[in-house]
Amino acid sequence: MNNNETTKKNFFYEHFSDRKLVIRYIMAGCTGAFVNLASMYIFTDIIGTWYIASAIFAFLISLVVAFFLQKIWTFGNATLHPRHTLRQAALYTFSSVLFLGLNTALLYALVEFFGVWYLLAQFFSLGVVALGSFLFNKSVTFRKREVHSMNTEQ
C-alpha cells in the first residue's frame, strides 16, 4: 500500500470508525429536519404565517434544536461554558448557512445543467451536504482538543 492509500485509509478510519457517532449524527439531523417541518406546518397552517416567514422561523428553531442535539448527544460535549458554547454556536450556524448555500447550488446545477429530476438531485445534494457537515462539525465545531482546553478554564 502506498503512502497516499494509507492516508486515505487513515482519514476514513479517523472520521467514520465510530459507528455510534455517525448514527447519532444522522438521528440528530433527522430530528432537526422533523422539527423544521413541524414548525413550518404550525406557523403556516395553524398560526397563519406566510410560508416564507414560516420557513425562516422553522430554520432558526431547528438550528437551535439540532445544535444542542449535536453538541451534547452526538459529540458528547456537555460543556456549557458561555464563551465556548457561543463560539460553537457561531461555527455551527456558519456551517449550516454555508452548507445550505452548497445544497442550493448543487441542486440547481444538477437540475438545470444535467437534467436530473429535482427530488433525486436534492437527495444527492443532501448526502453531499450531510457528509461535509459531519466532517466540518467533527473536525472544527466540536473537535475534542478544544473541548479539553475549554474544560480546564472553568
Q: Is 79's pLDDT higher than 90?
A: no
Query: What pLDDT is attached to residue 111?
Result: 93
Predicted TM-score of the model (pTM): 0.77
Query: What pLDDT is attached to residue 18?
Result: 76
Cell readout for 18 is 465510530
Q: Is 112's pLDDT higher than 80?
A: yes
Taking the CA of residue 56 as centre, how many other CA atoms within 13 Å lie in the half-sphere pointing to its CB?
A: 4
Distance of alpha carbon 93 from the chain centroid: 9
DSSP 130-150: HHHHHHHIIIIIT-HHHHHHH
